[in-house]
Amino acid sequence: MTEIFNLDDFLDHFINISPSENAERILRDRYFLKDGEGNYLEHSWEDITRRVSRYIASAEILYTEDIEEIRNVEKKFYKLLKSRVFLPNSPTLFNSGKTLPLEIFKKPLEEMTIEDYKRIYNSRNRHNMLSACFVVPLEDSMEGIFEAVKDAALIQKYGGGVGYDFSVLRPKDSSIAGTGGKSSGPISFMNVFNTTASTIEQGGARRGAQMAVMRYDHPDVIDFINSKKNNDGKSVLNYFNISVNFDNPEEFLKKLENDEEIELSHPNSNIKKTIKARELFDLIANNAWKSGDPGMLFLGRHNKYYALSDVTPVSATNPCGEEPLPPYGSCNLGSIDLAKVVDFVNLGNPDHENNELFKDLIYWCSRFLDDVIDINVYPLEEIDKVSKEQRFIGLGIMGLADALFKKELAYNSEEGRRFMAESTAQFAYYSHLASTELAKERGSFPLFDRSKYKKGFIPFAMLKDDFSENIRKWNELIRKHFFNEAKEFKRNVQVNTVAPTGSISNIADTSSGIEPNFMLAYIRYMTDKEGNRVPLPYMNRILKEKLDGELTSELEAEIIEKGSVQNIEGISEEIKRVFVTAMDISGEDHLMAQHMIQSYLDASCSKTINLPKEATVDDIKNIYKMAMELSLKGITIYRDGSLETQVLTKAKKKDDKKVTFFVLDEKHKLRARPRKDTLKSVTRKYKTGSGTVYITVSFDDNGEAIEIFLSDGTETAEIIGRLSSIALRSGVSADEILEQLSKVKGTYCKGISGEIKKALEDFEDLWKDNEGDIEVFHVGKPLSREEVEKFVHANKLEYTKGYYIDNEGNTYCPTCLSKNSLLMTEGCISCKTCGWSKCS
Ligand SMILES: [Zn+2]
């Protein structure tokens, strides 16, 4: 461990390390500001860092008039971001200072005046929305519902995701007083929200993610659980994730054990039903096995650890599930890269001399997020009010898996879990110290006096003291903090969240959030200046260092092929033990990691319990039961391959437009496009020296030759036919194939080539309405919206939950259109080809 003891030296150590090519590619594709015509206004991570740090630091004018102090704060923020030790959520990177003339961000720091900072602060407008997620309340009345539709529409217009609690609405067929009518029920209203989200998306906003929550004892809960089931050939509620809320999971577990009945009822309705606990549980597990939906949520636990639960109980979570929020709550997130910290701090050890550095780092990240609350422009007045009264921030961690690699601890080992628990305890403790420190400087959050902190309240479960000596020490420090100064000072009602970090962890060149690495090596493609597609092989750099000397190009290719080192000969057992991926470990190992970390988080965390394809419904039930027994606040499982297979029953539809496409697979190899069952064709008879050959050339709806069939009973003819067909279906022109055939020695191939040519001409004569427009899509890199729409239309793809599916159940990434390249991690769908992530 290198000897560095203060924050500035630590940040300086990383400040000049440039982002990798992969990170640069993501920045260029998605993060650099562009003008209206698509020209880049920013060209480097440095440009973004300058803009964001100056913009956020200008919020400091609310607390000081001292120009030196504000400049110092800006410099600190600049170093945090430039070093990529800390990164805020994507909307903060996208929207900070957007629409301001960029000159103001180029002015040298020592020339910045108070007026400059004030000008920046006062320039704020609706385009400077910096948080990603919101919760909107529903009311059990027509006016209330449509008010919420309007609120949600506004939030989504500015790119935010929204969560709702649909339990509030009375069940289907309940009487409505005064009208004599019957209620159409929560599911019908979910459809209204779904349509609204799709309409807004067509209006040009980013795709709106939505989360619907319903209590397990609502009379419509069965319909809710089945609401996303795809059994009629149509994708339903495609803009929703759904979660069933079990307020009291311990109680539900008992009912399960005793096979008790559950009463389903609603305060505004006479409708009463019952269901066996086991029946309900089976249904949830069955559906989750098929498609991952619904998830389970334990909001009672959220409220137990939420300091204002008596005032504004949390009613739902944001769409990715990591941030429980009260009505009109919003969250503003940021993550620290533990894989960088671990080089200099002995994480988790309460007695280490470098702890001060980590403590300072957490203070400055917390101050950054606290400033975001003030400078943020909220889409609704009510959200502005709640956000400022409670001052939620979500400081989290990323790079956990890489930190474990560096420490040579396995993610699925006792030691690995101890590291997770102890370092999160340390992280939580310092975060709360920072929030108390900020309160001393700036005042506690306005509702502090009504909060549970006043009475001495610890906002997370903690592990038992006997877990380890270090945990005992951290618990002691934590208790001391909450039973003393936290009773008087707290700046933020909640401080810690582990958010989805898909894109930002790529920018930081570190592993995502608290997830194990998904692949240790892979190939992505980028476009160079001349527009050529260049392969970008990647290998986890810690693994690369460890393999130093032993890494041959064959070995590298094998690791890229498999993504894992587990089944590769010539790799040592020690490396196999440490370098485990998400698919190398068991569901229980995933769950235990979530339990360790959740025990010290006041909010929740983004985590996917990845299960192998062969996992059974019973495996899922066992995982769910464990989640209820441990300290989890919610759970998202994903069975490998279930994104792809869930739509196999979908009805095929008739083609309505002639566009040809070619398909590149996830390894960027060209794939033959599918052949239709019936094709138009021309058959010619050709006499050779040894007999007769029948040559059949088949054409698609665009009049393009896509199949050649030769029959004279010889293997040679069959081989020529098969290979030519696969080439045609992959986009090789017929001319090219004919040219090759005509070069073969002898008369056989020459003759056949001539006949095929005649067949093509024959067909051209027959092909009267020659109108097929032909386009080629190079998938694998982010495409323009227009290109995506064209491809989606041409291939009759359907949108569901953030991605596309075709009628065979294959998935397509919504930004790069790679086929079956999606995976679930951090509770979130991500693309392994381009790095796209639904949540960040
Ligand atoms: Zn992609």
- pLDDT tens digits, one per residue of 597-650: 999 999 999 899 999 989 999 999 999 999 999 989 999 899 987 776 444 333
Distance (Å, whole) CA 562 – CA 556 = 10
Give distance in angstroms: CA of 781 to centre of ligand 1. 7
Q: Which two tokens stand for residue 32?
A: 């650099």
In a shared domain, residues 463 and 341:
yes
The domain in which residue 803 lies consists of 651-661+775-808+810-831
Instruction: Flag whether 591 is in a domain.
Output: no
In a shared domain, residues 335 and 463:
yes
Q: Is the pLDDT of residue 588 over 80?
A: yes
Which pLDDT band, with edges at 50, 70 and 90, does 502 fall under? Answer: confident
**Ligand 1 is a single-atom ion; what residues have CB below 5 A from it?**
813, 816, 818, 831, 833-834, 836
Is 365 an active-site residue?
no
Instruction: Flag whether 298 is in a domain.
Output: yes
Instruction: Flag whether 534 is in a domain.
Output: no
Instruction: Flag whether 161 is in a domain.
Output: yes
In sequence order, what are the beta bridge partners of 335? 87, 396
In a shared domain, residues 63 and 205:
no
Q: Is the pLDDT of residue 653 over 80?
A: no
Q: Which two tokens stand for residue 87?
A: 């990164």
Which pLDDT band, with edges at 50, 70 and 90, does 9 fall under? Answer: very high
Task: Give me the catalytic one of 42, 60, 322, 798.
Answer: 322
Last residue of a domain, one of 301, 317, 333: 317
Residue 656 confidence (pLDDT)? 35
In a shared domain, residues 15 and 86:
yes
In a shared domain, residues 202 and 163:
yes
Which pLDDT band, with edges at 50, 70 and 90, does 132 fall under? Answer: confident
Give distance in angstroms: CA of 293 to centre of ligand 1. 22
Task: Give me the catalytic one of 230, 318, 496, 610.
Answer: 318
In a shared domain, residues 280 and 377:
no
Which range in 57-71, 153-167, 687-701 is most confidently predicted, on average pLDDT?
57-71
Last residue of a domain, one of 459, 485, 502: 502
Instruction: Flag whether 555 is in a domain.
Output: no
Distance (Å, whole) CA 674 – CA 660 = 11
Q: Which two tokens stand for residue 690?
A: 């040894």
Task: Give the DSSP H/E element, type plus range, for residue 72.
Answer: helix 67-82
Cα–Cα nearest to 524, from 516, 509, 535: 535
In a shared domain, residues 396 and 498:
yes
In a shared domain, residues 467 and 399:
yes
In a shared domain, residues 412 and 398:
yes
The SS3 of residue 665 is: coil
Give distance in angstroms: CA of 836 to centre of ligand 1. 5
In a shared domain, residues 478 and 418:
yes
**Residue 483 maps to which CATH number?**
3.20.70.20
Residue 694 confidence (pLDDT)? 79
Instruction: Flag whether 229 is in a domain.
Output: yes
Q: Is the pLDDT of residue 283 over 90?
A: yes
Domain count, the chain: 4
Give distance in angstroms: CA of 501 to centre of ligand 1. 16
Last residue of a domain, one of 502, 530, 556: 502
Instruction: Flag whether 337 is in a domain.
Output: yes
Instruction: Flag whether 279 is in a domain.
Output: yes
Task: Give me the catalytic one of 241, 287, 320, 422.
Answer: 320
Whether 174 contacts 183, CB under 8 Å: yes
Sheet bearing 240-245, strands edge to edge: 330-331, 133-135, 161-165, 210-215, 240-245, 295-297, 634-635
Give distance in angstroms: CA of 776 to centre of ligand 1. 17
Residues 6+ apart with CB under 8 A from 534: 525, 526, 527, 528
**What integer is the mean pLDDT of 229-255?**
81
Which pLDDT band, with edges at 50, 70 and 90, does 551 fall under? Answer: confident
In a shared domain, residues 147 and 249:
yes
Rounded alpha-carbon distances, angstroms, from residue 305 to 153, 265, 296, 629: 31, 27, 18, 17
Distance (Å, whole) CA 744 – CA 735 = 15
Residue 747 confidence (pLDDT)? 81
Please, what's the b/e burial string for 249-267 (b: 16 or more CB within 10 A of its CB; e: otherwise)?
Answer: beebbebbeeeeebebebe
Residue with tokens 């790679």: 818
Strand ranges, E, within 700-827 = 705-711, 773-774, 798-800, 803-805, 811-812, 822-825
In a shared domain, residues 460 and 312:
no
Give distance in angstroms: CA of 468 to centre of ligand 1. 42
- Span 413-441, pLDDT tens digits: 999 999 999 999 999 999 999 999 999 99
Give distance in angstroms: CA of 838 to centre of ligand 1. 10
Residue 338 confidence (pLDDT)? 98
Cβ neighbours of 665 (radius 10 Å): 15
Give distance in angstroms: CA of 782 to centre of ligand 1. 7
Which pLDDT band, with edges at 50, 70 and 90, does 2 fall under? Answer: low
Give distance in angstroms: CA of 526 to centre of ligand 1. 12
